[in-house]
Amino acid sequence: MSYTLQPLLTGVTYFLTIRLADPHSDLLLRRIDLLRRAMRETLNRHPFRIDAISVLPATLHMLCTLPPGERACPRRIAMLKSRFSRGCPMSENRSSGQIKRGEKGIWLRHHWQHVIRDADDFMRHRDLIYFSPVHAGLCATPQEWVHTSLHRDVRAGINLPLSLHNSTQAKPIAQRPTTRLPNETKQIAGVVP
């Protein structure tokens, strides 16, 4: 049997999607203060930078960059889930496996994780994060959604997709213009000019 060695990735940027077990739940918004506290505790124990984030009722989309020398993204996700779950009651629909493992049945066991390859990949995923509430039918424009880092980026003067500035309806991903990163954003994305 042969084994393929994966390259050791450190200080990389990840796109993450973490979902609740019940896709119709609004628990993340109802308990947003608990989620924020769980995120702060996770950041204090295992630091990383949140480059972009959107919290939907049952889904969390995030771009995060680990510090140099770090590669343990799953540990951070597990800690976030655990800290959030501690403040929530048991789910009524736990499977026998979840009961056996002592899980509350709040989160899906697995998450989506993608390593950001370059500045364009970073922009595409940031765009996806900011438009996710529109795609979910929760608002008409990304600016209307409160639970996103879009507002932080606007205050910081970070270049955002043109479709955020001159559109009242979100454009499908394929129709959105490609934007180039300014040098400071390339550094945030882990791409050195």
- Domain-located, residue 2: no
Per-residue confidence band for 9, with pLDDT thresholds at 50, 70 and 90: low
Per-residue confidence band for 87, with pLDDT thresholds at 50, 70 and 90: confident
Termini Cα distance of the chain: 42
- Domain-located, residue 41: yes
Whole-model pTM: value is 0.76
Query: 172 is in which domain, residue-wise?
Result: 13-188
When pLDDT is averaged across residues 180-187 and rounded to a whole number, the result is 40
Q: Return the higher-pLDDT residue of 72 and 169.
A: 72
Distance CA 127, CA 147 (A): 15
Q: Return the higher-pLDDT residue of 82 and 186.
A: 82
pLDDT tens by residue, 129-166? 999 999 999 999 999 999 999 999 989 888 776 566 54
Question: In this predicted structure, which of 92-101, 121-130, 181-190 has the lowest mean pLDDT?
Answer: 181-190
Q: What single letter denotes the amino acid at residue 100?
A: K
- Domain-located, residue 86: yes
- Domain-located, residue 85: yes
61 within 8 A of 54, measured Cβ to Cβ: yes
30 within 8 A of 88, measured Cβ to Cβ: no
Q: What single letter denotes the amino acid at residue 48?
A: F
The CATH code of the domain that includes 68 is 3.30.70.1290
Per-residue confidence band for 177, with pLDDT thresholds at 50, 70 and 90: very low
When pLDDT is averaged across residues 70-90 and rounded to a whole number, the result is 86
- Domain-located, residue 78: yes
**Buried b / exposed e along 94-126 (16+ C-beta atoms within 10 A):** beeebeeeebbbbbbeebeeeebeebebbbbbb
Q: Does 95 have pLDDT greater than 80?
A: no
Q: Does 70 have pLDDT greater than 90?
A: no
Tell me which long-range contacts 77-82 makes (C-beta under 8 A, separation of at least 24).
77/16, 77/18, 77/111, 79/41, 79/42, 79/45, 79/46, 80/18, 80/38, 80/39, 80/42, 81/18, 81/106, 81/107
Q: Does 174 have pLDDT greater than 70?
A: no
- Domain-located, residue 26: yes
Number of folded domains that form the chain = 1
Per-residue confidence band for 11, with pLDDT thresholds at 50, 70 and 90: confident
- Domain-located, residue 138: yes
Distance CA 25, CA 88 (A): 13
* Residue 190 confidence (pLDDT): 40
Question: Could you tell me which of 98, 19, 92, 5 has the C-alpha nearest to residue 54?
Answer: 19
What 8-state DSSP symbol labels residue 21?
A: S
Q: Return the higher-pLDDT residue of 61 and 101.
A: 61
What token pair was written down for 56? 């939907």
